[in-house]
Structure 1
Amino acid sequence: MDVSEPASISTGIASRYAAAVFELSKEGKGIAALEGDVAALEAALADSADFRDLIQSPIYTRDQQREGVSAVARAMELSETMRNTLALMASKRRLFVLPALLRELRARIADEKGEVTAEVRAAKSLTKAQQDKLASTLKATFGKDVKINLAVDESLIGGLVVKVGSKMIDTSIASKLSNLQNAMKEVG
């Protein structure tokens, strides 16, 4: 059994919905509203176990999912395009791809704005000035505005691990120690 198949199916479904939502929002000059919708839905998914259950659990009927997601969308004051998309996804039993849809929309919005996101792991929290300097350095390297998504990982001991797209820069002390350990094994 190919384990990657369900993930690729979800990604494909999410990508098609994202393309449609993005184009509709772009035509209606609603990219800023779409960006707000994406942020609000990401926060709702992170904060509400009930909302995650609603979109993922097979025990809810199509009508229950549609009514539930429509009520959530109205309460969150989402754009009409996003409300209609969520209702359509519920009627097609496709709400389970919502997290992938949001990731895809986030990437399309960033691309439209000429931005990239850098996933940064640091041994300790970075100050605003340090984050700004890192963003400007990465902008010089990648030629796009860089949004920093910072996570603290004390196991790095010191330094940073920066991932932008498929490129990774690892300046952590833990990595250097591991490389030194491997070099010592080769010598002795």
Structure 2
Amino acid sequence: MASHSTRVSGLAMRYALALYELADDARDIDTVAGDLSTLQSMLDESDDLRRFIASPLVSRDDHGKGMLALAEAAGLSAVTRNFLGLVAEKGRLFALPGMIVAFQRQLAKHRGEMTAEVVSARPLSDAQAAALAARLKQVVGNDVTVDARVDPSLLGGMVVRLGSRMVDSSLRSQLQRLSLSMKGVG
């Protein structure tokens, strides 16, 4: 369940909140959330798609046609298709990844969930991610979704960020602390 930590601009947040309200009014939040997850997977897997949505050389009309064709082929809901059409028409496709993240955050907030950003030296197994989520739920009292990334430079262990809290149990940090303490002794 690897994902990217993405900064969300005010523009992306406004569009995501508008989509959330539309999906809520249509009683279709879960479908739209699934559509956006599908779209995020497509963006993660395709350099061409990322270049297409970010290109200022592609006309708004061509962006709209391309996104409509993609939405049709992926079987996305009418709410999501209409949203993508509007975003393309307004020339805002470049902010789509941020919109997806902002929508997911709004949905998690509405459901009382929190997201823990976890960076580990090696990929977490499904069992490890589930155990970590369960332990974090005990600590904070809310459901916790694990957003896992891999950073081999940690050497071992992991860094967990949950809201404003951070726990760094990486081997790299432990070695740095040991090195600093040894310098202070001499």
Amino acid in structure 2 at the alignment position of 1:168: M
Give the counterpart of 1:66 among 64, 67, 81: 64
- Offset from partner CA, 1:101-144 (integer Å, 9 cap, x none): 01101111111222222222223344443332221110112221
Question: 1:3 matched to which residue of 2?
Answer: none
Task: Report the secondary structure of 2:75's partner residue.
Answer: coil
- Offset from partner CA, 1:137-176 (integer Å, 9 cap, x none): 1011222111223334343233221112332111122211
Question: 1:47 matched to which residue of 2?
Answer: 45
* Aligned equivalents of 1:69, 1:33: Cα separation in 2: 18
- Post-superposition shift, 1:181? 1.1
Question: 1:118 matched to which residue of 2?
Answer: 116
Question: 2:105 matched to which residue of 1?
Answer: 107
Question: 1:161 matched to which residue of 2?
Answer: 159
Question: 2:130 matched to which residue of 1?
Answer: 132
Structure 1's 58 and 154: CA in aligned 2 closer, same or farther, altered over 3 A?
A: closer
Question: 1:24 matched to which residue of 2?
Answer: 22
Question: 1:180 matched to which residue of 2?
Answer: 178
Amino acid in structure 1 at the alignment position of 2:151: D
Question: 2:3 matched to which residue of 1?
Answer: none
- Post-superposition shift, 1:45? 0.8
Structure 1's 180 and 105: CA in aligned 2 closer, same or farther, altered over 3 A?
A: same
* Aligned equivalents of 2:97, 2:32: Cα separation in 1: 15
Alignment of 1:66-105 (within 5 A): 66-105=64-103
* Aligned equivalents of 1:75, 1:109: Cα separation in 2: 25
Question: 1:4 matched to which residue of 2?
Answer: none
Deviates more, 1:113-122 or 1:72-81: 113-122
Amino acid in structure 1 at the alignment position of 2:30: A
| TM-score, normalization by structure 1 | 0.87
Task: Report the secondary structure of 1:78's partner residue.
Answer: coil
Amino acid in structure 2 at the alignment position of 1:137: R
- Post-superposition shift, 1:98? 0.2
* Aligned equivalents of 1:115, 1:44: Cα separation in 2: 25
Amino acid in structure 2 at the alignment position of 1:121: V
- Post-superposition shift, 1:62? 1.2
Gaps of 5+ in 2: 1-5
Question: 1:150 matched to which residue of 2?
Answer: 148
Aligned-pair Cα RMSD in Å:
2.0
Task: Report the secondary structure of 1:58's partner residue.
Answer: coil
- Offset from partner CA, 1:56-112 (integer Å, 9 cap, x none): 111111111111111111111212121111111111111110011011011111112
Quote the sequence identity (%): 42
Paired residues in the alignment total 181
* Aligned equivalents of 1:165, 1:44: Cα separation in 2: 28
* Aligned equivalents of 1:58, 1:124: Cα separation in 2: 37
